[in-house]
Chains A and B, each alone.
Chain A
Amino acid sequence: MTSLPISAPSWAKLPRRHMPVLATLTLLLVMYGIGVSQYRAFSNVQVVFNVFIDNGFLLVIAVGMTFVILTGGIDLSVGSVAAMTAMVSAWLLQSGLPALPVLVIALLIGPTLGFLMGCAIHFFDIQPFIVTLAGMFFARGMCTFISDASIPITDGFWTTMSQYRIGDPRGNFVSISVLVAFAVVLIAAYVLAYTRLGRNVYAIGGNPQSALLMGLPVGRTRIAVYTISGLCAAIGGILLSFYTLSGAPLIAIGMELDVIAAVVIGGTVLTGGSGYIFGTVLGVLVLGVIQTLITFDGSLNSWWTKIVIGGLLFAFILLQRLIGIRYK
């Protein structure tokens, strides 16, 4: 496709690749400013904490998706894998297993599925879209295969994790899930920026052919990112089960779209090779703040969330296009 990159105006001395992230940051601050100016309770610090508490699992899953999208792939299975993880843990806990082995088993399922999908994509050269679509069907099917109805979790460890509040229990607090999410974000940011694997991810996303010719382990990296995405989806699923204290077969339907939207709004380019974990964090926060704003308003209906997210997606892609970020 011919796309003459429109040269950045002279005031833009910043590296062009930072522009989308900065735009997201500006948007986030503007939205928060609007919220604070319109609603008195919005300036409460707990509002910000609640955005993190309500979107901790989304954040973790979006981090995994960032890896996949950076290589130029896509993972549609994440929402279903998260639901399956929650479902499996609820089911195992109900059948009387102690918390620790349940946690281990539940955290193993996601990466295993991700590994298999990565192998199918790499060795048999099938489109990531189709493979992860099959993965999505499989995981969602497994959910109802385990149980048609939602399974409550009454295990002590789970309820503690769900109800424990860090900080002042009556004032401002965060849940343990938020800390887990932050840990995942930090580790992922470190891996992407400072390790060999992280640099390989960017290289493959930039140009797989060149990466291969340079002698980079393209196959291993590609399988690794789907495994990482599966692991993040599994951790997200565990956080989801902390949040809802149950495993429900129909939970997190369509979550993959929210996740992809968050990653794109966060400035990661879908053809791969350009983007940051920090951007993804901002993208998730934008989605969270939109939801909070709509909840605070009260007169708007829930479907406005979708319309606004669609509009934002459009605006951000247009922005990426205008500042001349390469599209294949």
Chain B
Amino acid sequence: MSDAGNRFRTLLGHRLFWPVAVLVVMLAANTVYRPGFLAVELNNGHLYGTPIDILRLSAPLILVALGMTLVISTGGIDLSVGSVCAISGAIACLYISRAPDQDNLVTVLTALAMALGVALVLGAWNGVLVSVIGIQPIIATLILMVAGRGLAQLIAEGQIITINSGPYRAIGLGHLLTLPLAIFIALAAALLVAAFTRRTALGMIVESVGGNREASRLAGIRSGRVVFLVYVVSAACAAIAGFMMTANVSSADGNNTGLWVELDAILAVVIGGTSLAGGRFYLGGTILGALIIQTLTTTVYAMNISPQTALLFKAVVVIAVCLIQAPAFRAKFRRRRAGTPPPPQSSPQRQKEQVPA
């Protein structure tokens, strides 16, 4: 077999190949459809253009998806992130709207700290339900997903809280070094999570708990504590994302802030190659997944298709990516093309018991 062929096969087999391919194809299609798509211009010292917009708008999703990656890696799932976004956004906006001087930096920071604190409590609640009481993650977080929307509306008393605060708006729309501030916040969060999980043993511990919680416990890992921790981290990420979402529009709407973000985040994680059954996780893949979802949304908006119809495209992409990544589908496809049964895999795929998700 030729060397080039081998290299191509390795590239094709790389776990990030298909997500990158999908992103590139989407960007290329956009450029063909609208030649100015990739143009970026400098205006007033800030960079503007569709690619920058995609990056800025995907920042909240990246944040939520980062937390979700850790949760999914432990074999759990966190459905409550959308509600946590709504609650944290509502608390921050409520505090700022009651303050005499909304532009005061101290006021804004107090508001953020308060909202973040509440989010940590909510995350701890999820963590206790899953790790101490032992409720199935999907159900434990479903409680907060349903009740959280109600709480957010309760905090806002059913109103949409509008604020006029410069520092708060900067979280969503501000600029730093010509680029939107939101990108840096998301990047910082990603680097922080990556540093903690990949530069220390924490990442491996999380993966081992996801692989087999009981075995990890017997090996001396405090599984319960790790599971508790990931839900708290997920809630914290969701809270910051909630600040961004509400800062983008300078208002908090208990009903709509972060609506369906949990589904998008789970999609981003799955597209990135992390298995819903737990175990290994890929932060880079997750970020890529979030970018794919945001690019898709932006593309559909640019084509003047209604946001709801955009779901149709999302469904197609989800199914395509999942099918391509499904080992069963790949095996079938390969067999049909080669006409011979696939060689026995040298490293048998870890068969996990079906996890109801």
Contacts and interface: CB of A to CB of B under 8 A. Distances in A.
The answer on A and B forming one complex is yes
Interface of A: 1-3, 72-74, 120, 123-131, 133-135, 137-138, 140-145, 148, 208-209, 249-250, 257, 260-261, 264, 270-272, 301, 303-307, 309-311, 313-314, 317-318, 321, 327-328
Nearest to A209: B353
A299 B277 CA distance: 45
A127 B276 contact: yes
Given A74-B356, A123-B328, A272-B356, 10 more contacts: A127-B277, A130-B266, A137-B314, A141-B309, A141-B310, A141-B315, A209-B353, A270-B139, A307-B151, A318-B133
Given A1-B213, A141-B310, A124 B326 contact: yes
B145 A257 contact: yes
A141 B314 contact: yes
B270 A130 contact: yes
A137 B276 CA distance: 19
A133 B323 contact: no
Contact of A271 (B136, B140, B153, B276): B136
A133 B318 contact: yes
Given A137-B315, A141-B312, A144-B308, A306 B135 contact: no
A130 B318 contact: yes
A1 B158 CA distance: 40
Contacts of A141: 308-315
A137 B357 CA distance: 17
B214 interface: yes
B328 A261 contact: no
B214 A303 contact: no
A73 B148 CA distance: 24
Interface of B: 77, 129, 133-136, 138-140, 142-151, 153-154, 158, 213-214, 254, 263, 266-267, 270, 276-277, 306, 308-316, 318-319, 322-323, 326-329, 353-357
A306 B149 contact: yes
Of all A-B residue pairs in the complex, the 4 with the closest CB atoms, nearest first, are: A310-B147, A141-B312, A306-B150, A144-B308
Contacts of B154: 301, 303-304, 307
B214 A1 contact: yes
Contacts of A313: 139, 142-143, 146-147
Nearest to A304: B150
B328 A124 contact: yes
A247 to B, nearest CB: 14
Contacts of A120: 319, 323
A140 B254 CA distance: 22
10 contacts: A124-B329, A126-B323, A127-B277, A130-B322, A137-B315, A271-B356, A303-B153, A310-B144, A310-B150, A317-B140
B326 A126 contact: yes
Contacts of B129: 314
A137 B312 contact: yes
A261 B308 contact: no
Contacts of A307: 147, 150-151, 154
A270 B138 contact: yes
Contacts of B276: 127, 129-130
A145 B138 contact: no
